[in-house]
Amino acid sequence: MRPWPTDRIALGGDYNPEQWPRATWREDMALMREAGVSFVTLGVFSWSWLEPAKGEYDFGWLDEVMGLLHENGIAVDLATATATPPPWLSAAHPEILPVDRDGHTLWPGSRQAWCPSSPVYREHALALTTQLARHYRDHPALALWHVSNEYACHNLPCYCDTCAGAFRRWLRQRYPGLDAVNDAWGTAFWSQRYTDWDQILPPRRTTTFANPTHQLDFARFGSDTLLDFFREEKAVLVEHSPGVPVTTNFMTLTHFRHLDYHDWAPEQDVVSTDHYVIESLEHPRAELAFSADLTRGIAGGAPWMLMEHSTSAVNWQPVNRAKAPGQTIRDSLAHVARGADTIGFFQWRQSRAGSEKFHSALVPHAGRDSARFREVCELGAIAGRLGEVRGSRVEADVAILWDYQAGWAASGPAMPSGDLEYALVGQSIHRLLRGRGITADVVHPSADLTAYRVVVVPTLYLVRDEHAAAIAAAAESGAQVLVTFFSGISDEHDHVRLGGYPGAFRDLLGVRVEEFFPLLPGETVALSEGTGRLWSEDVTPTTAEVLGVYAEGPLAGRPAVTRARAGGGSAWYLSTLPDDQSLDAVLGRIVTAAGVSPAAEVAPGVEAVRRRGEHGSWLFLANDTAQEQTVEVAGHDLVSDRPVGSVVLEPGGVAVVREA
């Protein structure tokens, strides 16, 4: 077994040699060395090459590739190759194919066309995993096992009959009986009461709004089902290839929410994730930062692996534009700043054929003689100097709570406002804090909140009692807690907490709300400071003091921003989403009250994040503005490899300063 590279931040990516002739493999090795590639992920989509017919295995070509990589000192993250079944399997067993909400079969011809509950699929996948684990267990290039690939990317939820049966079994384990399911789902409503388990179906397309708790439980079931499959694959690896760490690549991009990664993380030897910048977003770089901070939260603060991102364009957005010069480096370091100890890409060499032929790679269509490959080589040199950063932790005094299950519930049918996207408020607050040079951990409500000076609770619509209690305890013990509208509304079954909103947080916040007044698309409401959008409420303070009010309309004079004393800390409430400037002003008051200071004094638009280890600290800087920026910091810049007293950053420029 090869240890994961520790003298550098590992750089590499998905390697798909089966798409190329052998002569190219030799060239690949030379170019990988030139670029400073220290790992590859191998075999992700190789099933049909490794098992051309049932039970007939052909590992010869992979042996050759593994040998070449070993000779060249490159560590292998070896996939179990079970992400996509070969055509012979789906032809022999069409029952493994997933089915959509309308009952349409999703046919083979793309990838991941398998039902998450299919026992037939599992059996075949586990057989291949067993063979691979036995064959490569002692291979000197093997450093890490990569189970499947991006679970749930395309095949969840599946509404097939196999899933219907599996869903019923899952419910029987979760609930003491059918009555309990009826209670939890509130089936007294609309004559939905079940009298036999077999009447329960996946939430297939129906006439109008589906039962929200039925949908919520089906989402939980989907995540649990795939996690169960992951565990089975992992068990095979642990049995036949003991001692080799195991991971699967998550998708912590904020728009991807099929899996509850907080449940998945404890099963990983190292948390790894994929991230792709979506340039069409209003704040693409803030989304990257949020996603990275979420990944770190999922990893419990430990360093994590960026398994995939892109050197340049992707192929799956409506318009796919190449990245600007320098952006490969800047995006990579943005992840490292926030705790990644690995820089991985999809993929090593840009495909000639297939639906990803216009997706960028480390070696583009233009070949070695290209600006992108030169930038990759530059990144390789930087990664080589960043080894000392490995293992250090990101400093953050602020926690922003994120709960996939609250997100599922909040995205349920027939809500007060269809415009309230779960991630929006948390991301807005995160972005404004980032603009102040303040780093936040994005963590689950069950995380240990005691060390944070500020705890932000954005639109935590569904909240469990114990989580609400932990949030209140954080305020009691001195934190500034900021809760936003549409938090604490429902319990774990998505039943509304009665007696007035915001249910679980009413006492903590010292406010009571009887009705919601969400704003229409584009509508704003004047506040005593700035304007609000998206939401408004008629807030009655019980113990809270009023810090800001609505300045017009039916709520004129009613509270928009409040604060209540809570033990050693305070509990702030926002009943609307203020414009950036006004929200930033509220955040400014909160961080001042909490005594939180930025990682460095930087101009707005300059990102500053600090990682700290046993033997030092590193300040990561990135200039997102269009002007040159100077930051006062003394030490050694590992990007330019020069001692610095202050750093001058070009637009788009980056620095990683080992602080004196």
Query: Which partner, Zn ion, ligand GAL, none, binds residue 276 by CB below 5 to 8 Å per kind?
Result: ligand GAL
Report DSSP state, residue 536: -
Site track 134-153 with ligand GAL (rule: CB under 6 A), x = hit: ---------------xx--x
- Cβ-count burial of 368 within 10 angstroms (0-12 exposed, 13-18 middle, 19+ buried)? middle
CB of 251 to Zn ion, least distance (A): 20
Q: Identify which of residues 114 and 346 has a Cβ nearer to ligand GAL in the complex.
A: 346
CB-facing half-sphere around the CA of 283: CA atoms within 13 A: 18
Whose Cβ is closer to Zn ion: residue 123's or residue 448's? Answer: 123
What amino acid occupies position 355? S
Q: Of ligand GAL, Zn ion, none, which one sits near residue 338, judging by CB under 5 to 8 A according to partner kind?
A: none
CA–CA separation, 544 and 212 (whole Å): 33
* CA pair distance 240, 316, nearest whole angstrom: 37
Which of 305, 314, 406, 483 is in the footprint of ligand GAL by CB under 6 A? 314
Of these partners, ligand GAL, Zn ion, none, which one is at the site of residue 77 (CB under 5 to 8 Å by kind)?
Answer: none
Q: How far is CA 642 from CA 218, 486, 512, 634, 647, in A?
A: 55, 50, 57, 11, 10
Taking CB under 5 A as the rule, does residue 106 contact Zn ion? no
Q: Does the active-site annotation cover 308?
A: yes
Q: Is 631 in the site for Zn ion (CB under 5 A)?
A: no
**Residue 42, φ and ψ in degrees, nearest 5:** -120, 140
CB of 120 to Zn ion, least distance (A): 11
Q: If 0-12 CB within 10 Å is exposed, 13-18 middle and 19+ buried, where does residue 126 land?
A: middle
Q: Rule CB under 6 A: say whether 15 interacts with ligand GAL.
A: no
Instruction: Give the shortest CB-351-to-ligand GAL separation in angstroms.
Output: 10
CA 651 vs. chain centroid, Å, equals: 28
C-alpha span between 80 and 85 (Å, rounded): 12
For residues 363 to 402, the per-residue mask of contacts with ligand GAL, x marking binding by CB under 6 A and - elsewhere, is ----------------------------------------
Q: Residues 233, 287, 308, 492: which is the catalytic one?
A: 308
DSSP string, 597-620: --SS---TTEEEEEEEETTEEEEE
Provide the minimum distance between the beta carbon of 25 and Zn ion in the complex, in angstroms, as a whole number: 38
Quote the CA–CA distance of 338 and 293 in Å, as a whole number: 6
Please identify, using beta-carbon distances, which residue of 311 and 490 lies nearer to ligand GAL: 311
Residue 160 interacting entry, from ligand GAL, Zn ion, none, C-beta within 5 to 8 Å by type: Zn ion
Residues in contact with Zn ion, counted by CB under 5 A, come to a total of: 6
Q: Taking the complex as a whole, how short is the minimal distance between the CB of residue 367 and Zn ion, in angstroms?
A: 43
99 DSSP assignment: B
Min CB(83)–Zn ion separation in Å: 17
HEC-encoded secondary structure of 470-499: HHHHHHHCCCEEEEECCCCCECCCCCECCC
Contact 375, 328 (CB under 8 A): yes
Work out whether 74 is an interface residue with Zn ion (CB under 5 A): no
Reference 39, options 16, 65, 67, 73; nearest CA is: 73
For residues 469 and 488, give the distance between their C-alpha atoms in angstroms, rounded to a whole number.
11
Binding partner of residue 397 among ligand GAL, Zn ion, none, CB under 5 to 8 Å per kind? none
Cβ distance to ligand GAL smaller for residue 149 or 490? 149
Q: Which of residues 329-348 bind ligand GAL (CB under 6 A)?
A: 346
Q: How many residues sit close enough to ligand GAL to count as binding (CB under 6 A)?
A: 10
> How far is CA 244 from each of CA 40, 143, 145, rounded to the nearest angstrom?
16, 7, 7
Cβ proximity to ligand GAL, 15 vs 185, nearer residue: 15
- The DSSP letter of residue 643 is E
The reply on whether position 275 binds ligand GAL by CB under 6 A is no
Q: Closest approach of Cβ 240 to ligand GAL, in Å?
A: 25
To the nearest whole angstrom, how small is the minimum distance from the Cβ of residue 215 to Zn ion? 16
Q: Provide the mask over 306-345, with x wherever binding to Zn ion is found by CB under 5 A and - wherever it is not.
A: ----------------------------------------
Residue 115 sits in the site that holds Zn ion (CB under 5 A): yes
Check binding of 276 to ligand GAL (CB under 6 A).
Answer: yes
Q: Whose Cβ is closer to ligand GAL: residue 273's or residue 405's?
A: 273
Q: Which is nearer to ligand GAL, 338 or 359 (CB)?
A: 359
Identity of the residue, 278 or 415, whose beta carbon is nearer to ligand GAL in the bound complex: 278
Task: Please name the residues in contact with 529: beta carbons below 8 A apart, sequence gap of 6 or more.
Answer: 548, 578, 582, 585
Closest to Zn ion by CB, 160 or 456 = 160
| Cα–Cα nearest to 440, from 599, 302, 299 | 599
Residue from 143, 158, 244, 504 touching Zn ion (CB under 5 A): that is 158
CA nearest 320: which of 372, 280, 350? Answer: 280
Considering the complex, state which of residue 276 and residue 290 has its C-beta at the smaller distance from ligand GAL: 276
Where on the phi/psi map is residue 405: left (φ > 0), alpha (ψ -120 to 50), or beta? Answer: alpha
Measure the CA–CA gap between 235 and 242, rounded to whole angstroms: 10
SS3 content of the chain, % helix, strand, coil (to 5): 35, 20, 45
SS3 category, 78: strand
Task: Describe the strand order of the beta sheet including 249-251 as a list of residue ranges.
Answer: 246-247, 142-146, 75-79, 39-42, 10-15, 340-345, 304-308, 272-274, 249-251
The answer for residues whose C-beta is within 8 angstroms of residue 118's C-beta and 6 or more apart is: 95, 96, 162
Give the residue closest to ligand GAL by C-beta: 346
Under the binding rule (CB under 5 A), the answer on residue 226 touching Zn ion is: no
Cβ–Cβ contacts within 10 Å for residue 171, how many?
22
Estimate to the nearest angstrom the gap between the alpha carbon of 165 and the chain centroid: 30
Half-sphere exposure of 364 (CA within 13 A, CB side): 21
The yes or no reply on residue 274 touching ligand GAL (CB under 6 A) is: yes
Q: Which of 160, 171, 277, 289 binds Zn ion (CB under 5 A)?
A: 160
| DSSP letters for 194-231 | -SSGGG-------SSPPPHHHHHHHHHHHHHHHHHHHH
One of 113, 141, 163, 394 touching Zn ion (CB under 5 A): 163
Using the contact rule CB under 5 A, the part of the chain among 64-72, 159-167, 345-353, 464-472 near Zn ion is: 159-167
Say which of 51, 150, 492, 607 is annotated catalytic: 150
Give the residue with the Cβ less far from Zn ion, 117 or 480: 117
Between 163 and 181, name the residue whose CB sits nearer to Zn ion: 163
Q: Give min distance, CB of 86 to ligand GAL, in A.
A: 17
> Least distance (Å) from ligand GAL to the CB of residue 147?
13
**Least separation in angstroms between CB 249 and ligand GAL:** 7
CB of 447 to Zn ion, least distance (A): 33
Q: Can residue 168 be called a binding residue for ligand GAL (CB under 6 A)? A: no
**Residues in touch with Zn ion (CB under 5 A):** 115, 117, 158, 160, 162-163
**Residues in touch with ligand GAL (CB under 6 A):** 149-150, 153, 274, 276, 308, 314, 346, 356, 359
Q: Which are the catalytic amino acids?
A: 150, 308
